[in-house]
Amino acid sequence: MRIGVLTGGGDCPGLNAVIRAVVKTAAHQYHDEVIGIRDGFSGLINNKMHPLDLTRASGLISRGGTILGSSNRDNPFKYAEYIGGNMREMDVSGRVIENIEKNKLDCVIVIGGDGTQSIAHQFAQKGVNVIGIPKTIDNDLGATEVTFGYDTAITTVMEAIDKIQTTAESHHRIMVVEVMGRDAGWIGVSAGIAGGAHIILIPEIPFNMENIAQKIYERKGRGKHFTVIVVSEGARAAGGDRVIKRLVEGSFEKVRLGGIGEFVASELERITHVEARTTVLGHVQRGGSPSAFDRILATRYGSAAVMFAHDGKFDHMVALRTPEIVAVPLSEALHKMKNVEPDGSHVQTARRIGISFGDETASD
C-alpha cells in the first residue's frame, strides 16, 4: 500500500512516536510506502507531501512536536481564502481528493483530535479511505479510554504545581494555576490530584466564589496560610459563562479560552484579603518529550492503524479498550465529548481527601 499520514490540530507529545510506528510497521511488516503530508489538511489542499522512510523515522520516539507540522485552521470543507482583500469560506474538498488520487494514496492516516477526526469522517463519506488516530492533551475524545499526549501534559502540570506549592507556602499566598482542557476538566482534576492542589475548578462543576473562600478560611484555621488552586480554562462560576480570551476566524475552534485564572485570583484577593497570584501554564503543556506511557500508547496506535488499513477498516479510529487496541467507527468516536463525570471516580476520590470543587461549603 501507499499510505499517507498527517497530523492535525494542536500539537502534543507523542505525535512523532506515532509517525515512527506507522513508518516502521509499514516497512517491516507490510513493505508499504509511507508519504508524509505537511501541515495537516493544508498539505492535502496544497499538495505538500514527501516520502517517509526508516531513516527519517529514526530517533523520533523521544522527540516532542511533529516533524510533519500541524494546523487547526485549514478545514477543506470551510477553507478560508482571501479574494480581493475579503475572506470567504470555500469547499475545496474536491481539490483534496484530486491530490490524494494524484499521489496514488491508498489510505490516509489522520492523527488528531475531535475537529481533525470530524473532517476525516467527512472525507470517508466521500469515498476516501481514512483511519483516525486519537490525539489530544484534553483527553476528551469519545470511544477511547485515553488519548496519547494527556499523560505527558498532566505530568508537566503536576511538576509545575510541585514548584508552586513551595513558593505559595513561603509567602502565605493563594496561588492559582490555569490549565488547558477547553470544555473538559481532565487535565485539571488529574494534575490537581497528583500535585496536591487544595481546590480544583473544572467546567463540569460550576463554582461559587464564597465557597472557595470558605475553604481558604478553613485551611487558615488549621494553620495552613496558603492555598493552591488549579482551574481549567473552561471553568465557570455558577450562573456565569466561560471567560473568552479572543475569537479566531478561520479556525475549527474559533473560541479561544483564557483569563479565568486571573478572574478567580482577583476575586479571591478582594474577598479574603490574601495576596493571590496567577500562573498560566499555556502551551508548555503541549511541549516536551513524551512520557513512557505516551510513547507506548502512541506506538501501539500507529502500528495498529497500519494493520487496520490492511484489514480494510476505513472510516474507523484506533482506540484503547484495555488491554486491547481496537477499531471503532469514527461516527461513534465523534458522537459525544468525553467529560469528567461530577459523580465519577476522579471527583469522588478528590472530595474524599478534602479537595474542594468550589460547589460546596467547607463543612460539607
Q: Note the pLDDT of residue 250.
A: 57
pLDDT at 253 over 80: no
pLDDT classification of 249: cutoffs 50, 70, 90: low
Residue ranges matching CATH 3.40.50.450 in the chain = 2-148+290-333
Which of residues 257 and 31 earns the better pLDDT score? 31
Calculate mean pLDDT across residues 270-287.
94
Q: Note the pLDDT of residue 106.
A: 98
Q: Has domain 2-148+290-333 been given CATH number 3.40.50.450?
A: yes
Q: Which long-range contacts (CB under 8 A, 24 or more apart) does 236-239 make?
A: 236/203, 236/206, 236/207, 236/260, 237/206, 237/207, 237/208, 237/209, 238/206, 238/207, 238/208, 238/359, 239/206
Distance between CA atoms of residues 361 and 218, nearest Å: 10
Q: Give catalytic residue positions.
A: 138
**Does the predicted model carry a pTM greater than 0.85?**
yes
Calculate mean pLDDT across residues 275-279.
95
pLDDT at 347 over 60: yes
Give tens-digit pLDDT for 147-174.
999 999 999 999 999 999 999 999 999 9
Q: Note the pLDDT of residue 154.
A: 97
Under 8 Å between Cβ of 114 and 135: no
pLDDT at 84 over 80: no
Which of residues 266 and 254 earns the better pLDDT score? 266
Under 8 Å between Cβ of 317 and 324: no
pLDDT classification of 363: cutoffs 50, 70, 90: very low
Q: Rounded to an integer, what is the distance from CA 204 to the centroid of its chain?
A: 17
pLDDT at 140 over 70: yes
Q: What percent of the chain has pLDDT over 90?
A: 84
Q: What percent of the chain has pLDDT over 70?
A: 97
At 330, list the grid cell: 469514527
Alpha carbon distances (Å) from 51 to 32, 128, 152, 192, 234: 11, 20, 29, 42, 40
Options 3.40.50.150, 3.40.50.880, 3.40.50.460, 3.20.20.105; CATH for 153-286+341-352 is 3.40.50.460
Under 8 Å between Cβ of 19 and 36: yes
Residue ranges matching CATH 3.40.50.460 in the chain = 153-286+341-352
Calculate mean pLDDT across residues 67-71.
93
pLDDT at 364 over 80: no
Which of residues 216 and 142 earns the better pLDDT score? 216
- Mean of pLDDT over the chain: 93
At 7, list the grid cell: 497530523
Under 8 Å between Cβ of 235 and 188: yes
**Least confident residue range of 133-137, 214-218, 273-277, 333-337:** 333-337
pLDDT at 361 over 70: no
Give tens-digit pLDDT for 296-325.
999 999 999 999 999 999 999 999 999 999
Q: Note the pLDDT of residue 180.
A: 94
Q: Note the pLDDT of residue 258.
A: 80
